[in-house]
Structure 1
């Protein structure tokens, strides 16, 4: 099963964005993922990792919830 971590910048106020991504992943994949964890960070970080592999990094990727969910889906299928 797949473990997903969403690391977000607390001082930047990114909690709402992180929760939106978390909810979208859970709605899309439900019990197909083991966990979708929120990880508090700082320094402007917003990264999504699936099984320790970075699948979204705000520094280099355009923020798109659907694209992030699709990327997680690629890991869910690969983890089987």
Structure 2
């Protein structure tokens, strides 16, 4: 089975890049051996979304807030089995 990749889509005009970079590093610490890689995707419109493969782990649009690293790691491990 192929390992999934993490994707963080972030809003460029909102200057969410620093948060995306920080969370990328924090996610790779525990997940590096379980994923194929991590991609940062520039976006607009206030987007901040973290996905593992085709599964959205967190969406700022749905939750109305930014994710905590711990909840992202927990959700990722749940998806990985």
Q: Assess if the C-alpha contact under 8 Å between 1:7 and 1:40 holds in 2.
A: yes
Q: Assess if the C-alpha contact under 8 Å between 1:8 and 1:38 holds in 2.
A: yes
CA shift for structure 1 position 5:
0.4
Quote the RMSD (CA, aligned, Å). Answer: 1.2
Specify which structure has the higher proportion of strand: 1
Corresponding position of 1:68 = 72
What TM-score do you get using the length of structure 2 for normalisation?
0.86
- 4+ residue runs over 4 A deviation: none
What TM-score do you get using the length of structure 1 for normalisation?
0.87
- How many residues were matched structurally? 77
Residue 9 of structure 2 corresponds to residue 18 of structure 1: no
Corresponding position of 2:10 = 8
Q: Please, which runs of 5 or more residues in structure 1 have no aligned partner?
A: none
